[in-house]
Amino acid sequence: MLLIQCPVCGVEAEETEFAPGGEAHILRPEPGCSDAEWSAYLFERKNPRAVHYERWRHAFGCGKWFHMARHTHTLEIFGVYAADAPEPPQEIRDRIAERTAP
């Protein structure tokens, strides 16, 4: 069971109040891309046993989307950040580097 904090309404709740939205930061290819690029955009997803950047939605709460950095093995959540962020903020990258350092 994950305890997730929504960055929009500030609520910390268990994961049943949220809905997972899959891998984050997937860029749509430009018009005129190859079939292989388009296929990769539609279907190919990472499935790491490591830190994973994900989209989540506060489905039963304020209804807003946001981003989350989570470790798929330890289930540690390194932080949540805004839905419109094009990439993870430096603060969360630093925390990940610190927490996953060997």
Partner 1 sequence: MSDLSLARAALDVSPPSGLGAQVEAMPLRGMVTIRGDLGDAGFAAALQAATGCAVPEVRGSTVSGDTRVLWMSADEVMIFCAWDAAPGVVATFMEKAGDAHVLALDVSDARAVFRVSGEKAWRVLAKGAPVDLERMEPGEVRRTRIATVAAGIVRTDGDAFEIFCFRSFSTYLWNWLCVGAGAESLSDL
Positions of E strands within 24-76? 51-57, 65-71
Task: Quote the least distance from Cβ 10 to partner 1, whole Å.
Answer: 6
Number of residues that bind partner 1 (CB under 8 A): 13
Given the complex with partner 1, which of 13 and 85 has the nearer CB atom?
13
Positions of E strands within 1-102? 3-5, 12-14, 19-23, 51-57, 65-71, 77-82
CA angle 44, 59, 54 (to 5 degrees): 30
CA-closest candidate to residue 20, choices 87, 62, 84, 68: 68
Give me the 61-90 binding string for partner 1, x by CB under 8 A, dash otherwise. xxxx--------------------------
Task: Quote the least distance from Cβ 97 to partner 1, whole Å.
Answer: 31
Task: Quote the least distance from Cβ 88 to partner 1, whole Å.
Answer: 21
Which positions from 4 through 63 interact with partner 1, judged by CB under 8 A? 8-11, 13-14, 16-17, 60-63
